[in-house]
Amino acid sequence: MSYNRQKDFRARSALRWLRAKLRQDANFISVLKQIIDEIPGEIPDNMLFDQLKPRISSPWPPSLGSRPSVSPDSVDMLFYPWVRKKLKSWQADYFNESLNKLDRDKGRDKIERVFRRLLFKGSGPPPALSHEKVREVFNERNKIKKLCRKIIQDSAQADIGQKALTAYRKEQIENRFEWCRNLDKDKNVQLEKAASTTRAEQMRAAVLAIKFDCDPRAIKEIIRKGEEGFREFQRQSKSNPRIVDATITGGGNHKKVRTS
């Protein structure tokens, strides 16, 4: 009788897997450390509300003017288990008839405070980049990645302490990319994130996101779709030489390929 055996991923097997990954890739430990560092711990109420607070963003180019908005990254806070735990606790307090009205109202007010910020006018992802900017992102992807990889490699060879590495990479980013100089507070946070990573793809996404005033995930998606479209063009043009372009829309089961 055949059956699908579920993989046993206990502590011992996890250690074996980690050792194997370290033998295969010497940089795996730095990637793993970054992933662990990005996992947030318990977050106080005031800090959560501050993360969702509307701020003034400066679109690119500056002539478009500034507008208040909530960063799209703030929505990710709702996926953290500690934040969901807070929301469930506040909701439970609100529906708990054994509590006095003041405590129940506090739970309701905190939930409303979270979602009022998320529903603030101007919240959510910024407008999609124009076709010209999308093409510029895709055309510059390899050059920017090469420069980012050089920054990371140079910082690894620099004889400085661990705490000084981020500052060193930040300075190198500012030297190589003129649009990363003299940033406002919000953009400077993105620059700090770019300087803290040891992955060229992550740094590239953050650097280009600063230039085009968008979310780094939008940059990654532009590059992913562009590269998938290029591979699809190469595949289909072998059987049909008249195809000059292939465009990918959507992803997963909803991915569509349009050729011209």
**pLDDT tens by residue, the chain, 260 residues:** 444 444 555 666 776 777 777 777 766 666 666 555 555 567 788 878 877 776 654 444 433 444 556 666 677 777 777 788 889 999 999 999 999 999 999 999 999 888 887 776 554 455 567 888 888 998 899 999 999 999 999 888 877 776 788 889 999 999 999 999 888 877 888 888 889 888 999 999 999 999 998 888 888 888 887 777 667 666 776 777 676 565 655 555 556 666 66
Summarised one tens digit per residue, pLDDT across range 31-45 is 666 555 555 567 788
Q: What is the 3-state secondary structure (H, E, C) of the chain?
A: CCCCCCCCCCHHHHHHHHHHHHHHCCCHHHHHHHHHHCCCCCCCHHHHHHHCCCEEECCCCHHHCCEEECCHHHHHHHHCHHHHHHHHHHHHHHHCCCCCHHHHHHHHHHHHHHHHHHCCCCCCCCCCCCHHHHHHHHHHHHHHHHHHHHHHHHHHHCCCCHHHHHHHHHHHHHHHCHHHCCCCHHHHHHHHHHHHCCCHHHHHHHHHHHHHCCCHHHHHHHHHHHHHHHHHHHHHHCCCCCCCCEEEECCHHHCEEEEC
- Asked whether the whole model's pTM tops 0.85, one would answer no
